[in-house]
Chains A and B, each alone.
Chain A
Amino acid sequence: DIQMTQSPSSLSASVGDGVTITCRASQNVAIYLNWYQQKPGKVPRLLIYDASRLQSGVPSRFSGSGSGTDFTLTISSLQPEDFATYYCQQSYSLWTFGQGTKVEVK
């Protein structure tokens, strides 16, 4: 089984800050890494797929990078609507989610 580990588990930031979340796979997943955003009581929303491809309709302040085992999600300038929990997910071999990173207001 491929395990996904996100860091940090939570972070505090202010509007306008740049934010980076890291996701590490227990083995090589090539570029098959997706990122989701979930707000409390809401359904997860796909932000980025194939490590760096922005899903249609997602603001350009979101970006993803990485390949192999190490990936990052970057929010260039945090907006009020971005406070949420973010999950990475590998789709290289079955599907596995990370444990989530909660982005909170500082």
Chain B
Amino acid sequence: QITLKESGPTLVKPTQTLTLTCTFSGFSLNTRGVGVGWIRQPPGKALEWLALIYWDDDKRYSPSLKSRLTISKDTSKNQVVLTMTNMDPVDTATYYCAHRSLEVDAFHYWGQGTLVTVAS
């Protein structure tokens, strides 16, 4: 079955760069149409899509955050990495990675999420 799990720091300081890793199993990021995305949710607030990487290494970013985000993949390790630069307290959120399939352009499988707090 498909599983995803996020890992990374729980606390970062303002202006630092956040690096999160999504480790997945049950699918291959070499399969046509497959993608892995990142979504975040500040405490008590709505979901916000951040970035997605496709099987062919095509990358998509949220326009409002594009200048701060980089997404990459390591198919040999079944991992997707998201970096976000210049972190600010407003970036405090639970960060999720999620699977996007060829057949359904939606996020069906999600990781458990990881809470990242930005504070000095």
Contacts and interface: CB of A to CB of B under 8 A. Distances in A.
Contacts of A55: 104, 108
Contacts of B47: 36, 38, 44, 87, 89, 97, 100
Given A95-B52, A97-B46, A46 B108 contact: yes
B47 to A, nearest CB: 4
A94 B50 CA distance: 10
A94 B49 contact: yes
B62 interface: yes
Interface of A: 1, 32, 34, 36, 38, 43-44, 46, 49-50, 55, 87, 89, 91, 94-100
A34 B98 CA distance: 14
Contacts, number: 55
Q: Is chain A's interface secondary structure helix, strand, loop, or mixed overall?
A: loop
A62 to B, nearest CB: 14
Interface string B86-112: 000000000010000000111110111
Contacts of B96: 43-44
A49 B46 contact: no
Contact of A49 (B39, B49, B104, B110): B104
Contacts of B62: 94
A96 B62 CA distance: 9
Interface string B31-54: 000000101000000111100100
